[in-house]
Every structure is written in structure tokens, then in C-alpha cells.
């Protein structure tokens, strides 16, 4: 899943579908011709404007690879590196910010090495997080990083914060400004920074405090179950209140969290009834009744946070709707820690704003996958910035191409990772 260095993005456009197919065919032939122009030259020239409404993007590492992918697409095959679209308007984009659980060893290493904006932002966030972690967060970017370091809750949450915040700055440097920002779980802190509602240092301090308090719980567990919220509440009513709903993630899925022994009894009953259950490797029992003793300490820490009115609409997964000025109070962060995370309501709120392009900021593609399940049907795009690649460059360029074909005004000149916008 890791793409090698040198991945390039080729973008093509034409006034109609027949002209676009003809241009793609000619370009593939030119790339496949022995002694033909260099791939970098073809990509750079193709990116020059003006651009028409019918568009195509393709990524690849060599001229032959891109030519082969274009030929396969023209033959009617589905090629995951090729995207087409009609840019009749300018779609607005929502940033979906990953939370704890998305992390993996080596996440975004290629972008860290190649992109100055990404690297400097990551390093600034990692420096702010030093009081809350036992190793420099840059160590998580190594593919051979120890699992116990990568998946410790504080490292996972704060490392993902660094990745997501760095991706936000990188996308902005590529011309993509969000029309709304949504963060899942611990991703709410990076989302608040991206929306201009919290200074980065305050967000890191508050997230570090919350996750450190949450780690005190050592007898917790979490599980994803195939029930809607009302059915889950009916099941929970039969058990002691040490387990609750931690997240409502889709129309038919919730996460349960709380005391491990109680949760095991609940999931055993559900499994026996034929209900799908997936256990999550998080011992802290996040967003559960077990966190209630720590809520006062978090509220005390939040009193020192300098919250502002969001400059970009911040769609809360605490309330399930866009936040108004003055809502990021200590009481809000208490609710955030206790849960549940209302992703289903929040992504529906994004959709109600008329936003049809949702770009995940963080390691993995869990949120765009969940979003597509919450909002089935066509007319929307769900690109991820990194996927599960340690390199990340091909995934980022693929997402760049998808936004381009949809009509989002990205910088077309950035046809390779590490490039700079044309003057």
C-alpha cells in the first residue's frame, strides 16, 4: 500500500466527454512512445490553464504506468487511480478530522520528509505536546515504531492531532479552504484549531489533559455494535450503568464503552442474538461513565483556554450541529469527554449545509467510510489524505486529483509532492 517516491499527478480537461477521451488517448500514446517527453514535463504542461469543465486526473510513478492506466480507463475498466468529473460549479469542501484509533506506525512519513509546510506544522504541534508524552511524537512516524508507543492513548491522540493539523495547513497551501470542519472524538481539538476557534497550544494542552485523565481508567473496554441508538439504549437498560454509548457512528452502528466486565456480558448477549459486535483495543473506556470522576479536573483546565468564535463553521460531534460563538466553554469540554460522539448527526448537518465534498484529515480513511454509510447515494466525494500508506504522497495526489475533477479550485501546478505553487 506504500507508493514509492516520484508519484505524479496528471490532470486533463476538455469541453466535452468525447474531446476529453481523445485528449487522454493522445496523452497516453505520447507517454508510451519511446524517447517521448519526460513525465514531469507532460504533467506540468497539462496543468497549465485555462481548464474546461470535463476533467480527468490520474496518478502514477512512471510514464508507462500512467499510460497504462489511461488506456485501461478508456477501455472501460475501473482504475482507482483515475477520476473523472464535470466541474460545472465550485463545490465546497468539509474537512473531517480523524480521532484516536486512526494512528499507525509510519503514518505520513513521506509527507513529513517532502513537504516543508507539513513538517513545520507537525513539529510545532509535537513540541507543544511534549509534557504529555514519553517519546517525541516524530518517533511514531517511523515504520518500525513500537506498537506500545504508537497505540498508547496519549501518543495516539496527540500524534493524530499533529498529523491532522499538518494536513490542514498542507491542503490550505494547495488552495483548499474548508467550508466546514468536523472532528471525531479527540479530533474535535484539531478541528477547533483548523476552524480558528482554539489556538494550537491551548488545544494541545486541553487534549493532553483530557487524554491523560482518561488513561487513569484501566478496567475499561469499547466495542462497535450493529444497533441504532434507541435499540442500544434499550439493551443498556438491563445492565448496571457502568457502560454507555460512546459514539453514534452511522444509522445502524454505535460504540459502547465502559467497564470491561459489564461490556463483556452485554456483547455476549448481543452475539448470541446474532448482532454483529467488534471489540476495540482501547482499555481507557473513552466517552463512558467511567470518565465522570475526571470531568471536574478537565473543566478546571478548560477555564484557562482562550476560545474564539469559529472563523470557519465548526460542526460539533458533541451537539451534532454547527457551534455558535461562546459555546466552547468548560461545560462543553466536559460533555466532550463524557460523550457520546454524535458523528451521525454532525455529518448530516454538514450535508444540510450543501457540502458535497468531504476530505479526511488524518491517518486512514475511517471517517470518509463512515460518512459514505451515513449519506448513501451519488453526488458526493469522499477522498482521504493519507489512507494507510506510510508514504502518503500517492494518496494525497489522488485526493488532489479527485478535488480537481469535482471543480474544487486546487493549485493545478502542484503535480508532485514537494512542489511549490506556480507564481
Reported as a single tens digit per residue, the pLDDT across 364-373 is 899 999 999 9
Q: Round to whole Å and give the CA distance between 76 and 255.
A: 40
**pLDDT the model gives residue 39:** 93
pLDDT digits (tens, 9 = 90+) for 374-412: 999 888 999 999 988 777 789 999 999 999 999 999 998
Sign of the four-CA dihedral 68, 74, 75, 80: positive
Alpha helix positions (H), 291-422: 295-302, 330-338, 343-352, 366-374, 393-406
Peptide bond into 340 cis (omega under 30): yes
For residue 1, pLDDT beyond 50: no
Q: In this structure, are residues 94 and 350 in contact, taking their beta carbons and an 8 Å threshold?
A: yes
Q: Give backbone dihedrals phi and psi of 286, rounded to 5 degrees, phi first.
A: -65, 150
Backbone angles phi, psi at 259, to 5 degrees: -60, 130
What torsion, rounded to 10 degrees, do the Cα atoms 408, 398, 346, 270 define?
160
Mean pLDDT score of the chain:
94
The string of pLDDT tens digits covering residues 259-314 is 999 999 999 999 999 999 999 888 889 999 999 999 999 999 999 999 999 999 99
* pLDDT (average), residues 236-253: 97
User: Shortest CA distance to 192 belongs to which of 363, 329, 60?
Assistant: 329
**Which one, of 10, 91, 6, lies nearest residue 51 by Cα?**
10
Query: Binning pLDDT at 50, 70 and 90, where does residue 422 land?
Result: low
Taking the C-alpha atoms of residue 148 and residue 92, their distance in angstroms, rounded to an integer, is: 39
Cis peptide bond prior to 50, omega within 30° of 0: yes
Distance in Å from the first CA to the final CA of the chain = 34
Instruction: Say if residue 361 is exposed, middle or buried (CB neighbours under 10 Å; 0-12, 13-18, 19+).
Output: buried
Spatial contact of 63 and 39, defined as CB atoms under 8 Å apart: yes
Residue pLDDT, tens place only, 17-76: 999 999 999 999 999 999 888 999 999 999 997 899 999 999 999 999 999 999 999 999
In whole angstroms, give the CA distance from residue 329 to residue 383.
32
% the chain with pLDDT above 90: 89
**Residue in this structure with the C-alpha cell 444540510, named with its chain if needed:** 352
Distance of CA 325 to the CA centre of its chain: 25
Summarised one tens digit per residue, pLDDT across range 2-20 is 334 489 999 999 999 999 9
Sequence-distant (≥ 6) Cβ neighbours of residue 286 within 8 angstroms: 100, 153, 185, 214, 220, 222, 246, 257, 339
pLDDT score of 137 more than 50: yes
Higher pLDDT, 130 or 6: 130
> Does pLDDT of 250 surpass 50?
yes
Alpha-carbon distance of 258 to 36, in angstroms, equals: 62
Q: Which helix (H) or strand (E) holds 173?
A: helix 153-173
Reduce the DSSP state of residue 150 to 3 states and report it: helix
- Identify the CA nearest to 178 among candidates 189, 186, 167: 167
The Cα 35–Cα 15 span in angstroms is 30
Amino acid at each position: 500500500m506504500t507508493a514509492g517516491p516520484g508519484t505524479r499527478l496528471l490532470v486533463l480537461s476538455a469541453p466535452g466527454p468525447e474531446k476529453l477521451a481523445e485528449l487522454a488517448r493522445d496523452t497516453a500514446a505520447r507517454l508510451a512512445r519511446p524517447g517521448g517527453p519526460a513525465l514531469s514535463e507532460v504533467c506540468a504542461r497539462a496543468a497549465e490553464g485555462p481548464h474546461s469543465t470535463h476533467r480527468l486526473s490520474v496518478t502514477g510513478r512512471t510514464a508507462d504506468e500512467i499510460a497504462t492506466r489511461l488506456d485501461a480507463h478508456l477501455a472501460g475498466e475501473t482504475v482507482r487511480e483515475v477520476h473523472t468529473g464535470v466541474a460545472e460549479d465550485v463545490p465546497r469542501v468539509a474537512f473531517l478530522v480523524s480521532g484516536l484509533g486512526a494512528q499507525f506506525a509510519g503514518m505520513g512519513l513521506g509527507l513529513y520528509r517532502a513537504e516543508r509546510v507539513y513538517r513545520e506544522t507537525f513539529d510545532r504541534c509535537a513540541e507543544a505536546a511534549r509534557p504529555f508524552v514519553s517519546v517525541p511524537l516524530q518517533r511514531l512516524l517511523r515504520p518500525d515504531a513500537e506498537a506500545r508507543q504508537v497505540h498508547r492513548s496519549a501518543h495516539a491522540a496527540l500524534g493524530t492531532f499533529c498529523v491532522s493539523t499538518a494536513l490542514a495547513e498542507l491542503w490550505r497551501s494547495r488552495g483548499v479552504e474548508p467550508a466546514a470542519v468536523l472532528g471525531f472524538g479527540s479530533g474535535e481539538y484539531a478541528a477547533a484549531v483548523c476552524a480558528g476557534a482554539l489556538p494550537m497550544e491551548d488545544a494541545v494542552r486541553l487534549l493532553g489533559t483530557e487524554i491523560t485523565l482518561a488513561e487513569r481508567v484501566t478496567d475499561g473496554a469499547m466495542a462497535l455494535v450493529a444497533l441504532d441508538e434507541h435499540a442500544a439504549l434499550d439493551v443498556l437498560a438491563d445492565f448496571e450503568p457502568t457502560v454507555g454509548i460512546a459514539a453514534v457512528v452511522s444509522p445502524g452502528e454505535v460504540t459502547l464503552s465502559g467497564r470491561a466486565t459489564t461490556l463483556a456480558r452485554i456483547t455476549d448477549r448481543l452475539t448470541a442474538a446474532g448482532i454483529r459486535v467488534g471489540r476495540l483495543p482501547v482499555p481507557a473506556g473513552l466517552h463512558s461513565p467511567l470518565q465522570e470522576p475526571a470531568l471536574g479536573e478537565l473543566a478546571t483546565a478548560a477555564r484557562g483556554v482562550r476560545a474564539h468564535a469559529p472563523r470557519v463553521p465548526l460542526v460539533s460531534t458533541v451537539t451534532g450541529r454547527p457551534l455558535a460563538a461562546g459555546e466552547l466553554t468548560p461545560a462543553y469540554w466536559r460533555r466532550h469527554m463524557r460523550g457520546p460522539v454524535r458523528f451521525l448527526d454532525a455529518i448530516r448537518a454538514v450535508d444540510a449545509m450543501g457540502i458535497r465534498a468531504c476530505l479526511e484529515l488524518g491517518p486512514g480513511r475511517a471517517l470518509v467510510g463512515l460518512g459514505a454509510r451515513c449519506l448513501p447515494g451519488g453526488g458526493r466525494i469522499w477522498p482521504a489524505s493519507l489512507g494507510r500508506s506510510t508514504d502518503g504522497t500517492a494518496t494525497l495526489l489522488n485526493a488532489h486529483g479527485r478535488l480537481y475533477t469535482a471543480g474544487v479550485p486546487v493549485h493545478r501546478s502542484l503535480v508532485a509532492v514537494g512542489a511549490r505553487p506556480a507564481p
